[in-house]
Amino acid sequence: MNLLQIREQFRNISGRYDLVNDNLTDNGANLFINEGSTWLDSKSDKRMLYKNGGAISSAVLTLDTDTNFWSTNHPMLLIQAAIYKTFATSGNRTMKKDYQEDIAEQLADVDMDFVEKESCKINQMRDSNAD
């Protein structure tokens, strides 16, 4: 998903219509989306980001057509992280904790999937070298 699509879904899921204008232009949502992306970068397995994005951190989303690792591969996780950031700044500790726990579970799954795929690649390389 690109930034425009992420922003629209962020608005619809979070109910934060104040952060997205009627014509879907940004009215503050991009800040939370990019903060969510940065937060996911620091919580995830760095090997995964480096291998998939060529860099340790995801690109900042500026233009409506921009994408990054999270918006392309795990858009719902990015939306949830953006919503988490709204709760982190509003002081809503209960919702912040709920989102943080849910995101942590999903990130663990993402990281495990990545490690599993990398292990399969290593085993395939070993098998092909053994021939």
The domain ranges of the chain are 3-130
Q: What is the DSSP string of 41-59?
A: HHHS-HHHHHHHHSSSSPP
20 has which bridge partners?
A: 26
pTM attached to this predicted model: 0.80
- Tell me: the pLDDT tens digits for 17-72? 999 999 999 999 999 999 999 999 888 766 555 555 555 568 899 999 999 989 99
For residue 20, report the phi and psi dihedrals to the nearest 5 degrees: -135, 125
Please state, in angstroms and rounded to a whole number, the distance separating the CA atoms of residues 46 and 92. Answer: 29
- Tell me: the pLDDT tens digits for 73-92? 999 999 999 999 999 999 99
CB 71 within 8 A of CB 6: yes
Please state, in angstroms and rounded to a whole number, the distance separating the CA atoms of residues 78 and 82. Answer: 6
